[in-house]
Amino acid sequence: MEDQSSLDKKYFINSSVYNCPFCNRRNVVYSQDEFLKFDWSNEKTCYVYMTECSSCKKVSMHLSYSDIRDLESSYVRKPFRDDIDIDSQIFYSVPTSFFVIDSRIPRIVRELITEAEGCLKMNYLTGASACMRKAIYELLILQEAEGDDYESRIKSLKQKHPESDPALFDILAHIQDMTSDKIHEQSWDKWDSHYLKLIIETLKTVLHDIYVIPEVKKERYVTIQRLQQSLIKDKKKKLGDKSHPNDHASHQYQDDVKRKRRLPSG
């Protein structure tokens, strides 16, 4: 069977199912919630599509410069056409991707990455580059990474988290301009889209390793402890209910002796 794992990386799979950015369910049914259009400029019209997940009922927004609805459909709220790659027709979405950054990651870093993804989607490379630089520096501050320069602080972060793939930190350590002597952000060059995607995905993975995986392990351990305690209680209860077969006879004999002692002699 053909490998279709690439569909997990898409937002919209077809006109009926997508990968929900909120509940993170894959291949889940969605519906068109609302549709409107407005003038982006004198020459360009922008179309707004609001889609609702059938599972979590949350609504996401998607912008396109084309009307990609199936106008021949009998539905009042027209679905997307089946003969197009929907993702390629949409230039901006909220959330910006099907992967919503986990809330266990510090808010300031999450917001910067989300903003960078939005800028990248609209090809605002300078803004996206600035947001990613800021996100990395904020992470270094939050993690109290030590060192006199950027590269040494990334190495410090790498040493603090040996459970993560060292190659991820090596990528961050050699980001162009971050290791230079340029002081003012205005003097930095913008990164191209391919380089930005690499940095965004690398930082997301590092953040997941640092903030999400340890919490998941804790939650699983707590669940295991609860199950173990429940099992122990069940065993104790069963042992308490199972009295020894001779116990009943012994108690009965003692009751008979006491009863005979109370009877008057004849």
Per-residue pLDDT of the chain (266 residues; tens, 9 = 90+): 777 877 887 899 999 999 998 888 889 999 998 999 999 999 999 999 999 999 999 999 999 999 999 999 988 888 999 999 999 999 888 887 655 678 899 999 999 998 898 888 788 899 999 999 999 999 999 999 999 999 999 999 999 999 999 999 999 998 866 655 444 445 556 788 899 999 999 999 999 999 999 999 999 999 999 999 989 888 888 887 665 555 555 556 566 656 666 656 55
> Among 2, 83, 1, 73, which residue's Cα sits nearest to residue 35?
73
Claim to verify: residue 132 and residue 177 sit in the same structural domain = yes
Buried b (16+ CB within 10 A) or exposed e, 84-98: eebeebbebbebbbb
Claim to verify: residue 139 and residue 206 sit in the same structural domain = yes
Q: Which of 50, 85, 100 is the last residue of a domain?
A: 100
Residue 248: inside a domain: no
* Residue range of the domain that includes 83: 1-100
Residue 247: inside a domain: no
Q: Which of 100, 122, 154 is the last residue of a domain?
A: 100
Claim to verify: residue 190 and residue 215 sit in the same structural domain = yes
Residue 177: inside a domain: yes
As for how many domains the chain has, the answer is 2
Claim to verify: residue 94 and residue 144 sit in the same structural domain = no
Claim to verify: residue 49 and residue 110 sit in the same structural domain = no
Claim to verify: residue 24 and residue 84 sit in the same structural domain = yes
